[in-house]
Amino acid sequence: MPNTKRRRLFEIAATTVAVTLGATALAACGSEDDGDAQSGPVSLTYWTWTPGMDKVVDLWNKGPGKKEQITVTVKKQASGDTLVTKILTAHKAGKAPDLVQAEYQALPTLVSNDALADISGEVGDAKGKFAEGVWQQTTLGTDAVYAVPQDIGPMMFYYREDLFKKYDLTVPMTWDEFAETARKLKKASPDTDLTTFSANDSGLFAGLAQQAGAKWWTTEGDKWKVGIDDAATQKVAKFWGDLVEEGAIDNQPMYTPAWNKALNTGKQIAWVSAVWAPGTLSTAAPDTKGKWAMAPLPQWSGSENVTGSWGGSSTAVTTDSGNKEAAAKFAAWLNTDGEALNALAKESGIYPASTSAQLSGAFTTPPDYFSNQADFYTQAAEIANTTAPSAWGPNVNVAYTSFKDAFGAAAKNKSDFTAALKTMQDDTVADMKKQGFEVAE
Amino acid sequence: MSSLAVRKAAPAAGTTPGTAQGPPLRRRIALVPTITLLLGALYCLLPVAWVVIASTKSGSELFSTFTFLPGTGFAENLSDLSAYRDGVYWQWMGNSALYAVLGALLSTVVSSFSGYALATYRFRGREAIFNVLLAGVLMPPVILAIPQYLLLAKVDLTDSYLSVLLPQILSPYGVYLARIYAAAAVPSDVVEAGRMDGASEWRIFTRIALPMMIPGLVTVFLFQFVAIWNNFLLPYIMLSDDEKFPITLGLHTLLEQGANTPALYTLVITGAFLAVFPLVALFLVVQRFWSLDLLSGAVKS
C-alpha cells in the first residue's frame, strides 16, 4: 500500500513538473542512491526563516556537529508560499538545499513534487516526543516520515481581562456562549466589538474548521477527496457569517494599522489566535500589556475539549541532499535535543512541538506580555495536547488564496459565507484536476 | 479633448494681447493642467511622505499616533536597523549598489555597442535582430527569471553575485533606446567623414559617435540602474545566501519571519526610507547630463 502510494506520488510529481515546465526534460530527479557514503566531513545547507536560527545552529556546529564532522550553514529565507515555490524551482534544477523549513500544510505539496526525502529510518525513534496529531502531519498517513516537527500553533482564546470585568462578561466556554458574549457586549457598548472576522489569514479559518472536525483533504484509494465544503466546515462558516451579518462582531481584516489601533484602544477586546499571540500583541497593542488573559478555545459542545492549530513548521530533508543521513541527524537534534530546544525558545521565540520542551527552560515563566498569567505555558501545554489532527493536501496554497478572495468579499459585503465556502471547494477541486490529480467526487 | 482645445487657445491669447478676453481666458487655461499636475504630484508624493514620517516613529508610536505626526524614534530605528544581525542591512545596501552600478554600467556599454552597430552598419539580418530585440522589450523580465535560474543552475552559477549580474547586463530596452538614439544623434555624414580621414571604426565609435550618444546612454544607465535596484524576483530565485541579498530581498525577509514572529515594521520602513536615497542622489547628479541633451539637439538643428 505505501509502496503504490509512493509510486503514485511520484507519477503525480512527474505530471506536475511536466505541466508547469512544459517541455523541460526531467532527467534524473535528484540522486536516488541510498549509498550515502559517510566518510570525512560533511557540510549541509539549511533554508529557514526562523530568526536567530544561526545562533542555534552554532551550538550544533560547536557541539555534536563537530564530533560527527557535520557542519550546517543557515541561509535565512523569507517565509510563506513563495518559499515553497523557490524550493520547488531549486529542486527542478537539482539544487535544493539539504535541509528546509516547511510549514505543515506545505508538506504534501513538497512531497508530491518528490522534493522531500523519506527519513523514517533516521528519525522514526523521535515519534514518541511529539503529540500524535502533530507527528501525523509529517507522515501524511503513510509509513514514511518526511519531516521532524519543530514548532506548533495550538489555538486559544485571548481576551482583555479588565474590559471583560468592566462589561460584566464571562469567558465563553462554547461557541454559543461566544456568540452571546458578542451580542451582550454590542448592547453594553455599541462601538466596541468582541472581535473581528478576518479573511486575510486562511490559517485561522483552517484551524477553526480543524477544531470542528473537518478533514479538508483525504485519500480514497488512488484518489484525493476534497472535503472543504463538508458539514463541519459549513457549521464554522455559517457561525461566523451569521455573527458578521447581524453585526455582532466586526468584519475588518486583522493585521492592519486600524486593527492594531482597535486592539490597543480597547475597541476590540478579544482575539481568537494561537500560542504565538503574545508576540503579535506586543507590537500591535503595546499599551495594553498585562491586561490580557488566555483561555482555551470555545468548544462546539460542552463535553468536547479540542483545539485547532494555526501555524507551526517542521524541518525536512530534501531528495537533492547528498547527505540525507547526516541531514536527518541534524533535523532530529534540532527538534528533540533539550539544549537545542532551549536555544530555539530563547533565540527564536518558537513554541516547540516537542512535548517535553513545552514545560521546561524558557516555558517555566509566562511571556513578558502575559506576566499577569503565571500558568500561561502550563495551560498552553494542556491545550496543545488537545490539538485535533489535520489533513492537508497538495494544493493548500490554492485553497488559501480562494479563501482570501471569496471570504474577504463575503465578510466585506456581509453576504452568505456558505456560498463562499462552496467557491473555495470548487476552486480547489478544479486546480487539483488541472494539476493531474485524480479527485473523487 | 479638452487639453487639445486648451493648446489651440493658448497662442491665440498670446498673439492678441489687446483683446479684453485675453487675461481671464489664460487664467482658466492654466487652472486645469495645474490642478491635474498637482493631483498627480500629491498622488506620487503622499506615500513618500508617509514613509518619511513613519520612519521617525518608534514601534509603539507607529500605529497609535496620527499618521502624519512625526514620531520620536528615528535615531533609535536607525541604530536598531544597523544592529540587526550585525549590520546585515548595510551589507544588503552594498550588494544593491554593486548590482545596480556594475550591472547598469555593463548594460550601458553593451547597449552602446549594439545600438550603434544596429544604427550605422547595414548587414544581413539587421532587421531580424532588431525585431527579436523589440519582442524582448515587450517581454516582462519577470517571466524569464525561472528559465534563467534553470540555465545558470546547469553551469553552477546560482547563488553567486554573477547569477544576479549576468541576466541584467543585456537589456533589450537599453539596446533599443541606444539604437534609436544613435540613429538620431550620430549623422551618417559624420561617420563617413571619419572614414575619409582614415580613422578606424573603433576610433570613429569611441571618439566621434560615443560623445554624441552620451545623453542617450545616460538615460539607458538610469533606467537600468533603477530596474536593477528595484528588481525582486530574479535575485529572489537566484540567491539563497542572505549575505548576497540586495535590499529588496533583505527587507522582504524582515517582513516575512514566520507566523510566530511579529514583522519588524519599524525596521522595514526605516530601511525602505534609506533605500530611496541612492536613487534620489543619482537623479540629482544625472540631471546635468539631461540638460546637455537639450543643448546638443539645438546645435544639431
Between CA A356 and CA A367 the distance in angstroms is 18
Work out the pLDDT band at B294, boundaries 50, 70, 90. very low
**So where are chain A's domains?**
42-153+310-376, 155-308+390-440
Q: Are both A42-153+310-376 and A155-308+390-440 of the same fold?
A: yes
Work out the pLDDT band at A434, boundaries 50, 70, 90. very high
The answer to whether A205 and A259 have CB atoms below 8 angstroms apart is no
In percent, how much of chain A has pLDDT > 70?
Answer: 91
Q: Which pLDDT score is estimated for A8?
A: 47
Chain A residue at shortest CA distance from B63: A257
Query: Mean pLDDT over residues A417-425, rounded?
Result: 95
**Mean pLDDT in chain A?**
88
A–B interface: beta-carbon pairs under 8 A = 99
Kindly report the number of other CB atoms within 10 A of residue B257's CB atom. 20
Chain B residue at shortest CA distance from A97: B240
Establish if A204 touches chain B: CB-CB under 8 angstroms. Answer: no
Are B261 and A348 in contact (CB < 8 Å)?
yes
Q: Which pLDDT score is estimated for B3?
A: 41
* Contact list, B235 vs chain A (CB under 8 Å): none
* Contact list, B153 vs chain A (CB under 8 Å): 90, 93-95
- Provide residues of B within 8 Å CB-CB of chain A: 59-60, 62-64, 146, 149-150, 153-154, 158, 236-237, 240-242, 249, 252-253, 255-263, 265
Q: Which of residues 323-362 of A touch B (CB under 8 A)?
A: 348-351
Evaluate if pTM is beyond 0.90: no
Chain A residue at shortest CA distance from B243: A75
- In this predicted structure, which of A37-51, A146-160, A187-201, B254-268 has the lowest mean pLDDT? B254-268
Chain A residue at shortest CA distance from B154: A93
Which of A24, A77, A311 has its CB closest to that of B260?
A: A311
Q: Which pLDDT score is estimated for B288?
A: 77
Structural domains in chain B, sorted by start: 79-300 (1.10.3720.10)
Closest to A118 measured CA to CA, from A96, A144, A143: A144
What are the CB-based long-range contacts (under 8 Å, 24+) for B161-165? B161/B95, B161/B98, B161/B99, B161/B244, B163/B238, B163/B239, B164/B99, B164/B103, B164/B234, B164/B235, B164/B238, B164/B239, B164/B244, B164/B246, B165/B99, B165/B102, B165/B103, B165/B106
Q: Which pLDDT score is estimated for B29?
A: 65
B192-242 residue pLDDT tens = 999 999 999 999 999 999 988 988 999 899 999 999 999 999 999 999 998
Query: Mean pLDDT over residues A425-434, rounded?
Result: 95
Closest to A315 measured CA to CA, from A339, A338, A331, A295: A331
Whether the complex's predicted ipTM is more than 0.90 is answered with no
Which of B149, B240, B260 has its CB closest to that of A75?
A: B240
CATH for A42-153+310-376 is 3.40.190.10
Q: What are phi and psi of B40, to 5 degrees?
A: -60, -45
CATH for A155-308+390-440 is 3.40.190.10
A265-283 residue pLDDT tens = 999 999 999 999 998 898 8
